[in-house]
Amino acid sequence: MAARHTVEIDSASSGDTGIPEQLHATEILKVSTRSRPSAVAGAIAGVMRARGEVDVQAIGAGATNQAIKAIAIARVYLVDDGIDVCVVPSFIDLLIDGEDRTALRLFVQRRLH
């Protein structure tokens, strides 16, 4: 079974997110059912250009659908930069406002040719 990470997110806090130390270097983009795929794709492309990797998190089928579409669109945005991506999916356990949730973590990184 794939490794799981536990992250505590308290929407009222502005300090420590509880994200494990090794994940601090990676930008986390949270996608919802209402997220516009083109807007998320722009964010993914921007982070990929700057850092070369990004975590995209989604909870539920609708959010996962938007996230996958956004990654596909981001690939188009990155073509002129000579960047292609690969995606490593996994599950991540989150504590959101005191409630345990399981999210899909889509780790997007540069594809090596």
Distance, in Å, from the CA atom of 113 to the CA atom of 38, rounded to the nearest integer, reads 26
Residue with tokens 């209402």: 34
In this predicted structure, the answer to whether residue 2 has a pLDDT above a threshold of 70 is: no
The DSSP code for 7 is: E
Interatomic CA distance for residues 57 and 91, integer angstroms:
9
Q: What is the pLDDT of residues 9-66, one digit of tens each?
A: 333 333 444 444 444 568 999 999 999 999 999 999 999 999 999 999 999 999 999 9
Query: What pTM did the predictor assign?
Result: 0.78
pLDDT score recorded for residue 25:
63
Number of separate helices (H) and strands (E) present in the chain: 2, 5
> Which CATH number does 26-110 carry?
3.30.110.20
Burial zone of 71 (CB within 10 Å; 0-12 exposed, 13-18 middle, 19+ buried): buried
- pLDDT the model gives residue 112: 86
Catalogue the E-assigned strands of the chain: 5-9, 27-31, 53-58, 85-96, 99-110
- Residues 68-94 have pLDDT tens digits of 999 999 999 999 999 999 999 999 999
